Chains A and B, each alone.
Chain A
Amino acid sequence: MYTLPSKLKLFSIIIMVLGLVGIAYGFLTAPKTIEDVKKIMAEQEAHHGEGHVVETHDQEHTANFVDVARGEEGYSEAAMKHATDLKPEGHGAASHEEHVLHQLQTRPWSATFVGAFFFLMIALGVLVFYAIQYVSQAGWSPVLYRIMEGITAYLLPGSIIVFLIVVFAGTHFFPWQNEELVAHDKILQVKSGYLNFPFFVIRAVIYLLGWNLYRYYSRKNSLAQAETNNYGPYRKNFKASVLFLIFFIVTEATMSWDWFMSMTPHWYSTLFAWYIFASMFVSAITVLALTTIHLKSRGLIPFVSDKHLHDLAKFMFAFSIFWTYLWFGQFMLIWYANIPEEVTYFIIRIQEYKVLFFGMLILNFVFPILVLMNSDYKRVPWFVVIAAVFILVGHYIDIFLLVMPSTVGHNWSFGIPEIAALLFFMGLFIFVVGTGLGKVSLRPKNDPFIKESENYHF
């Protein structure tokens, strides 16, 4: 039986409290009126008198990079001018100040959402991984079932928080919820059959119910399997997992359109859902590997060998490459086709978030591939931990770059609201997962493949 070490428990509670204070601070200090914004802008001007000149020069340079890479002077400006879903006019703002106000008010929302979704997607990804093990009747992984179930304990609180954020964020995230804007926008009018608030909420409720029902049902059956001497509960779980995977692949696609793509409702990409899934899956397996290493180091799971760790590390390696493949597939096609309404997505990310945007590629691709390439290194726990840290930081940045450029645009920074949200949800995650792991014995008794899994060898 696992119990969350008291120091880790205390740590998680402390960062949760700190995070909560920081999130509240972010919401309370967001400017309320245009006067506040004018004051902030004037202050920035005064502060950066000298620095500002350098900054604009820098911006010109980055704008140039996009233009040069596209072979046309002024192309990116022209494209951005027409991207009404990214621009002040798009949010129904009358002036530049109003636009900045809107973005600054959005910032605490976005910061909280990035943290909340990042940890939700870890729990959700592990749940999918768990379902895949059942459906494929995998022989190697049953020793990890209780660990996976422990991590998916976070799904319920995590998904409720994310649900509340996306439902109440309104026009902070989703310009298509602004009726004034839709009235003047033909594209959004055509899309309003899908992008309308009631249907949006209904879909979110369906995701919430479906995912949590499967988690509840499979956990119940998995525990029941340990108590019986037939394979009834296992068979039920198999069927439930098949249905869940079908349900998930549909809801994951619509979820990524709803919660991320519709932040810039004019823009679309057909492999977007896969892209989010890749990020979700690789982060989830990484956290699973980290949790396994943590439990192993405390000597609680002697039946998990370095072969199992090797397999998890292989998944981390493979899905890092898969993520890069999708990232590049999306980027190259948009870069090559050079259609104005598509390139705006990358223009804003390259102009305003250049270091993060390209740095993320190094963290998510170059480091994992170099650290985990050698077969032997995949069995060395501290090597896997190093790769895991790179991957998790990289995919946090990935989610950050999905949300921030589309919602707060130029007015982003990494300050108290962002760090606080990260701390709060990390604390909550550690706390919930720690308690979830401690509920039952970590060895899934009576699973039909448990013997094969324990003897797993290659």
Chain B
Amino acid sequence: MASKKIHAIYTDDDLLLQAVKQTRAANYHISEVFTPFPVHGLDHAVGLAPTRIAITSFLYGLTGLSVAVLMMNFIMIEDWPQNIGGKPSFTYYQNMPAFIPIMFELTVFFAAHLMVITFYMRSKIWPFKKAENPDVRTTDDHFLMEVDADNHDVEKLTKFLYDTGASEISLIENEQDH
């Protein structure tokens, strides 16, 4: 099925945010927005569901903490206890102050790395993947809003987008939906 889309280009993030709000208020459907940097409040304005990555981050952090505790308990207490600096290695809790930095580091390490990997997987991006953005200028200083034009009067929509402050408006007709 052929799909018609309108690409509207903006030159300012505040302008874009304003345009996104107006477009949604006028009941047009925004299929995607491309920006060179994260725009605060854009996800909320476009109407995306709140991210759940914070929850995964918390769980990954707990995983890292457990790994640190189990690892050090095995290495430093059970398997090969050593007397370092006059500190006995009889139980984990007695040596706890020395272990806390590692517990902290591994918590952060797990949370950070696994969160990034999760983000890559959810966004379906990986190294050497071909870029999806339709206009290279969106990686520099332009902002692109993609609006569905299938069931709308293109003339009217173009006029509307022009009034929201778009500096460039182009009609894209795709042979197949991707």
Q: Are B58 and A373 closer than 8 Å at their CB atoms? A: yes
B78-110 with Cβ < 8 A to chain A: 83, 85-88, 94, 97-98, 100-101
When C-beta atoms are compared, the residue in chain B nearest to A332 turns out to be B97
User: CB within 8 A of A338: which of B40, B85, B100?
Assistant: B85
Contact with B along A443-458 (1 / 0, CB 8 A): 0000000000000011
> Is residue A50 within 8 Å, beta carbon to beta carbon, of the partner chain?
no
**Interface: A71 (CB within 8 A):** yes
- Chain A residues contacting B85 (CB-CB under 8 Å) are 336, 338
Q: What residue of chain A has the Cβ atom nearest to residue B17's Cβ?
A: A457
Cβ of A68 within 8 Å of any chain B Cβ, yes or no, is: yes
Q: With A332-B100, A336-B98 given, is the CB distance from A458 to B87 under 8 Å?
A: no
Q: Is the CB of B40 within 8 A of A71?
A: no
In Å, the complex CA distance between A331 and B41 comes to 42
Judged by a CB distance under 8 angstroms, whether B54 is at the interface is yes
Chain A residues, Cβ within 8 Å of B54: 374-375
Contacts of A246 in B (CB 8 A): none
Kindly state whether residue A216 has any CB partner on chain B within 8 Å. no
Q: Are A458 and B94 in contact (CB under 8 A)?
A: no
Docked-complex contact B88 and A68, CB < 8 angstroms: yes
Contact partners of A374 in chain B: CB under 8 A? 54
For residue A335, CB closer than 8 A to chain B, the reply is yes
Tell me whether B58 and A335 are in contact (CB under 8 A): no
Nearest A-chain residue to B89, judged by Cβ: A71
Interchain nearest-CB distance for A9 vs B (Å) = 42
Within B17-63, the residues touching A (CB, 8 Å) are 40-41, 54, 58
CB distance from B55 to the nearest CB of A (A): 9
> Contact: B94 with A68, CB < 8 Å?
yes
Per-residue contact bits, chain A 338-373, to B (CB 8 Å; 1 contact, 0 not): 100000000000000000000000000000000001
Q: How far is the CB of A351 from chain B (nearest CB, A)?
A: 16
Q: What residues on B are CB-neighbors of A338 within 8 Å? A: 85-86
Give Cα A328–Cα B98 distance, bound, in whole angstroms: 11
Q: Are B86 and A457 in contact (CB under 8 A)?
A: no
Known: A72-B86, A332-B100, A373-B58. 8 other contacts (CB 8 A): A68-B94, A71-B86, A71-B87, A328-B97, A331-B97, A338-B86, A375-B54, A458-B40
Query: What is B's interface to A at a CB cutoff of 8 Å?
Result: 40-41, 54, 58, 83, 85-88, 94, 97-98, 100-101
10 CB < 8 A contacts A-B = A69-B94, A70-B86, A70-B87, A71-B86, A332-B100, A336-B85, A338-B85, A373-B58, A374-B54, A458-B40
Of all A-B residue pairs in the complex, the 8 with the closest CB atoms, nearest first, are A71-B88, A332-B97, A71-B86, A458-B40, A335-B97, A69-B94, A71-B87, A458-B41
